[in-house]
Each structure stands twice: as structure tokens, then as C-alpha cells.
Amino acid sequence: MKSAGLILVACLIPGLSADHQVRAQARPGRGGELPSDTLAEVGSAVITATDLIERIDLMPFPGKESPSGADSLKIRALQSIVAERLLAAEATVRGTGFDSVTQLRLDALERAFVRDELYRKEVSAGVTVSASEIAAALEKYAAQLRIVIFRSPSEESARTLSRALQRGNAGIDSPAPAGFDRRIVSRDTVTMNFGVSDESLEEPAYSLDTLHRVSAPFVSPALGWVVLFLVDRGPDPAWAAQSINDRMITVKNTLERRKAQARGIRYMASVLGPRRAEADRAVLGLLGKSLYAIISSDTGAHRIEGRYMLTPGEVDHLEEALRGDLSRVLVDMPGGGLTLGAAIQAFRFEPFTTPSLRGRTFAYVLNESVKRIAREEFLVREGYGKNLQAASAVKHDLASWRDNWLSHMIQADVASGLGEPTEEEEVAGLVEYARLLSPSYEVNVREIFTDSLSKAGRYREMLLAGEDMAALARRVSKRTGWPARGGESGFFHVRSFPDLGVRALLADSGQLVGPVGLAGGYTLFRVLGKRLPNGQGEVTVDSLRRALHDAIRSEKRQKGLDRFIAGLAEKFGVKMYYDRLKDVTLFSHNMFTRRYIGFGGMMNAAPLLEPEWGWVQEYLRSRNQVP
């Protein structure tokens, strides 16, 4: 595949370094009084009602769909945020997250937030909409138009067509009057609604009425010379379905968005003067080959809505493929080069997509993508030049995502240290889910049951020394009815008495098992016989064991993590103000919310909060233990 050529991009504020590094830092001490909406303290940091709302309103969380459980939802969500903060604090102490790849990703996040803050301050903050503008837009919003758009190659031909339509010399179905070359006229009939149509067509279209159905010729940026003809005018369904207040909000948002777009273009033009930046052909070629390899490995999975896409989640694969080259400069820019590693992070916010994998098209799209990334980098550097990395919104957003990432890294470390389930843990899982076993499983055991572990240990020593188990069971066993039979149970369904039945099912016949703690005491037993299922499709011990393995492992790791977080709560200190949660109102629907990034890109509105509240009971239990 051929690499793309030079990239012509725009300017940079002089003197700003391109290799700005994000350093993971603990949150600063709060000092003074706590914020009035503080819900919890974790070490020297606080969690506020705003933090809780941001994490739960914008993203899914278990229990949101049940309004009756709103109080417990808020408690569990707060406990989960506290857990995340504790894990992140431990990660900072351990130095977790200082590896080059994590730092690269955090740096990309900060740069995206700096660019977004630049957009807010220089673009959004300057947008205002007057009452007269809203009133005029509401009038347009009320109507839905049916318009015929005639395209002409020149002003002269457009004027000829407009006059012919006004005189009625040309019909809608046959617009070309005598002497007018119909081969150079295109015609499209469209439905037009305020706010969702081409803005350049909107004003001329909404100025038409039943007395003046034909527009004067004008230039559309997208279509060239056009003439509009009004076919019909009716109520807009969206307008009709809304309240007066909702109409006002819709119109105001539309006007603000359009003004922001226009203002943003002007601002970019003021920042991005005609400067030249050059892509390194060799590094660009490496990027192209890696992108192509990932997408072409399974074109069906990567084809989305007619285009081939590298999903944001696959940027990790791209990083791995280019691991040895991430520090190489992809684009030589004034003020410092843009590295390959930094550049590909942009695909997390704006996925790489191409209509074709053919050489020229693919190379062109790649070149355009890198141009866009370079333009955004210039804007980021403008933001750093204004010290926007120190803005409270940037610091807050970066800290939220950093805590989330670091907490996941520590969780992975804890889980890896817990290993696979032990034999006893798997047996406990089978006991818990024995109700799923085939009823055909039956066992017969000889048992000695006692209320004391020391007695059970002594009886085991006696049996190993040669004592007759049936005779000993008659003298000392406490199980009702069984001692009279020499401790023999007779065949019973395993799932009806799972504590003993499952262990007997797993034991070898004649093997002495125990002491094992059961409800009410301790057991020693030998298996006398087993009856196994012989039907097809029944749940067997082996199949249940395989099915439960992952669940048991997950439960083991969760309990281990709960104990670990409880220890961190003791280490760093935690206070939670549950009484203040009554003043917090949360949105009761689960949904993913996406956030637009100023000057281009999109991401989740907030990190997805991991449900993590089991640690609280562990923490309280440890604090309530009497020495």
C-alpha cells in the first residue's frame, strides 16, 4: 500500500512543547470547610452530590429501573464511588498506572478535555440568542415544507429557469421552457423541517408562500446555483407533538448549535493560519499497514453502515501492533512533532472509517484522518498556551477517568493474586446449587455426627486406629434415627440433603471423610453406595461443576476484593453521610450518554461505575470485632 503524501495543515502558537506529559497525582488536600453537598470523605478527598449525579444519571447502574429502590440505589452507588476512589488511591501509592501506555492514554484524555474547554471558552461562551431570533425560528419550526430544488450550472440559467417558473411557462414535472437546455438541470423533491435541513436552503424556502412559490436564484455552498419551488406547506409533526416550552427549548438549542458551528469555524480560522506540517512517509506507512491488517482480518465484522471501521476498542490492538514505534514522530509540526502513539489515541474519540480498502481510497482517507488529527493537535496546543489544563472542569474530568482506570488496574492485580477456586470452594458451590442436580443422584453413607470439632477429631483417630465405625456410631453419633442402624443413612436424594450428599457423591466408596462442618455440628462419614442418573439430558455433577467454575471463581475474587477494599477503607479513612442522600434526586432510567468534544470527537459522558458495595459489610465487621 502506498503511503499518503505531505500534509498541509495550519498554525501553532509558538513555543509550546508537543510532549506535554500527564502525571498521575493524588487529589490535593481539601483545606477549610467541606462543600455543602459532600456525601463522603475518602482520605483528604471528598465525593459530592454532583459527583454522584454525574456518574449515575448519565450512565447505567444496577437498580435504576426500579423507582421503589431509589434509596438503596443511592447508597450503593455512593459506596461504589468510594470503592473506586480507595482503589485509585492505592494505585497511586503503589505507582500503578505510570507505565508508558497508561500515561499515553491519560495524556490523550487530558488533551481532549483541554480542547473541549477551549471550545467552551472561545466558542460556546460567546453564543447568544435573542428573543426576536427565537420568535422568528418558532414561526419556521411550526411549518413543514415540500420543496422542489432545481440545480443550474450558472447564474444565467438559474435566472432563466426562475422567470419561466414564475410565469408558469415551465411546470414542476417539465421545468425547462423553450430554449432552455433541460439536460443541465437537476430536480429533487424534499421535505424540509426547521433545524434538520441544509441551513443555506432554509431561509429562502421558508420565505415562500402560496402567492410566491418560486425563489430568486441563489448559491448553495453544497449545491451551487439553485431555484426553489414550494409544493406544499403544512404543520411540522415534531412541533405539533411538543409543549410550548419544549418548542422554545428545541428552537433555542438549534440556534445556539448553528451559531456555535459558525463561530467555531471562524475561531479555527483565526488559530489555524497557513502553516505546513509534514507526515513522515515511513511512519505513516506503518500506521496504514497496521490499520489495514486489523480491518482486513475480518472485513465483515468491520463493515458498519457501508463503511469499514476500526472501533475505538480496537485502538488497544493498534497500540500493541505498533508498540515498538509509538515514540516515533508521525507528523513534524512547529513546536514539536506529533508522535505515532499520541496520534492514534485520536481514534478513540473519532473512529477511523473508510468506504473502501482499495489502495488509493484507503491512502486518501488515512491522509485526511491524519490531517484532522494534526489540526486538533494545534487547537490542543492553543489550549495549553492558555493554561486550560488547570481549569477545574478539565481537572475534574481527568481525575474521574483516571480514578476509574486505576481502580480497574488494581482490581485486576487483586484478582490475579487470588488464583483459581480450591477444591473446598468448588464443593461449597455444588452444595449451594445442588437443587439443579438430577433427582436420580442418591447416596448411602455411614456417619458419625457430633457437636464438637475436638470430639470429631478424636473419633477420627479412633477409626484410623481400627475402631469399628458402626459400633462407634451407635455409641456416640447424634444424628436422629441413624445411630440405631450403625450410623447408616440409607439411600437419600443428594439434593434433599446437599451438605452431606454432595460431599458423599464426590468421595470414593469406603473413604473416610471428615471432620466436615455442617449445620449444627461436624460429620465423619464413609460412602456405602451411590446411585447415578442414566437418563439423557439430566444435570450431572461434572456438568454442574464445569458450569459453576467461572461463577465460583468470580465469587471468590469478589469476596477477596471486598476484603481488600475494606482494608483500604481502614488504611485511608472513610466517612459517608447517608442522611444527605435524601436530598439527591436521580434519573430513573438506564442509558448510555455520549459527550461531544469541542472541535470534533465523542466519548462516554462519564466512566461506567463498577457496582462495588460488598466491601462495606467487611469493613463494618472488622471494626466491630472485639479483640
| pLDDT, greater one: 537 or 156 | 156
The per-residue pLDDT for 210 is 85
Domain spans in the chain, listed from the N-terminal domain onward: 131-259, 438-538
Q: What is the pLDDT of residue 181?
A: 54
The average pLDDT across 94-121 equals 95
Range with the poorest average pLDDT among 62-76, 214-228, 378-392, 468-482: 62-76
Q: Whats the size of the chain, residue-wise?
A: 627
Mean pLDDT across 29-33: 56
> How far, in Å, CA of 575 to CA of 41, rounded?
5
Say yes or no: do domains 131-259 and 438-538 share a fold: yes
User: CA–CA separation, 285 vs 411, rounded Å?
Assistant: 38
Burial class for 432, CB neighbours closer than 10 Å (0-12, 13-18, 19+): middle
CA distance 34 to 309: 47
pLDDT digits (tens, 9 = 90+) for 541-586: 777 777 677 777 788 888 889 999 999 999 999 999 999 999 998 8
pLDDT per residue over 299-322, tens digit each? 999 999 999 999 888 999 999 999
Q: Is pLDDT at 610 greater than 70 in this prediction?
A: yes
**pLDDT above 90: percentage of residues in the chain:** 62
Give pLDDT, residue 26.
Answer: 35
pLDDT at 339 over 50: yes
3-state secondary structure of 370: helix
For residue 19, pLDDT over 80 is answered with no
> Which residues on neighbouring strands pair with residue 332, listed in sequence order?
278
The residue-averaged pLDDT of 34-60 equals 91
* pLDDT tens figures, 437-454: 778 888 899 999 999 999
CA 73 to chain centre: 20
C-alpha cell at 141: 419550526
Residue 615 clears pLDDT 90, i.e. is over it: yes
- Which CATH fold would you assign to the domain 131-259? Chitinase A; domain 3 (3.10.50)
**Burial state string for 82-119 with b = 16 or more CB within 10 A and e = fewer than 16:** bbbbbbbbbbbeeebbeeeebbbbbbbbbbbbbbbbbb
Q: Among 16-30, 122-136, 500-514, name the one with the lowest average pLDDT.
A: 16-30
Q: In whole numbers, what is the pLDDT of the chain averaged over residues?
A: 86
**Tens digits of residue pLDDT in 158-189:** 998 888 888 875 555 554 544 455 545 788 89
Please name the amino acid found at residue 179: G
Determine the pLDDT at residue 434: 77
Q: Which residues contact 7 (CB under 8 A, 6 or more apart)?
A: 277, 278, 279, 331, 367, 370, 371, 374
In single-letter form, the type of residue at position 206 comes to Y
CA-based nearest residue to 484, from 493, 497, 471: 471
pLDDT at 312: 87
Report the pLDDT value the prediction gives residue 497, as an integer from 0 to 100.
87
| Residue whose cell numbers read 466558542 | 123
For the domain made up of 438-538, give the CATH fold: Chitinase A; domain 3 (3.10.50)
Task: Judge residue 445's burial from the number of C-beta atoms within 10 Å of its C-beta, 0-12 exposed, 13-18 middle, 19 or more buried.
Answer: buried
Query: What is the predicted pLDDT for the residue at 170?
Result: 57
Question: What does the DSSP assignment read for 80-110?
Answer: HHHHHHHHHHHHHHHTTT-SHHHHHHHHHHH
92's grid cell: 497511586
Cβ–Cβ contacts within 10 Å for residue 561, how many?
22
CA–CA distance, 566 with 573 (Å, rounded to integer): 10
Is the pLDDT score of 289 beyond 60? yes
Q: What integer is the mean pLDDT of 419-433?
A: 77
Cβ contact 45:38 at 8 Å: no
| Mean pLDDT score, 37-47 | 93
